[in-house]
Amino acid sequence: MIGNNVKWMDEYGDINSGEVLDISSDKFDDVKYEGAYMMNYIMGPMYWSKKTKSYRPVKDKDMDSMFFEIKGEVYNNFITINEVMV
């Protein structure tokens, strides 16, 4: 997902697009986006679990804590994963 262009709707109803620079979280220290298919399941945001010492999928209840940093013309935008338009 990093390096891909995405579209999102801003608070004024305008549709914007830009390149994803980074993924971050309010809740987790180390996150990444895994875009591979695994056993007919599309992987998504993953966080580093200190308990299992491996990357684990982010649960639906924690998706609101995940953000993309989008490259802007003047400044970068931060949007939640739920704001990305498919």
- Mean pLDDT for 45-73 is 91
Q: pTM, whole model, 2 decimals?
A: 0.75
> How many domains would you assign to the chain?
1
All residues at 6 or more sequence positions from 51 whose CB lies less than 8 Å from its CB, including other chains: none
Considering only residues 41 and 49, tell me which one the structure prediction assigns the higher pLDDT.
49
Q: Which domain holds residue 21?
A: 5-85
Kindly list the distances between the CA atom of residue 85 and the CA atoms of 1, 5, 70, 81, in Å, as whole numbers in the listed order: 13, 11, 13, 9
pLDDT above 90: percentage of residues in the chain: 43
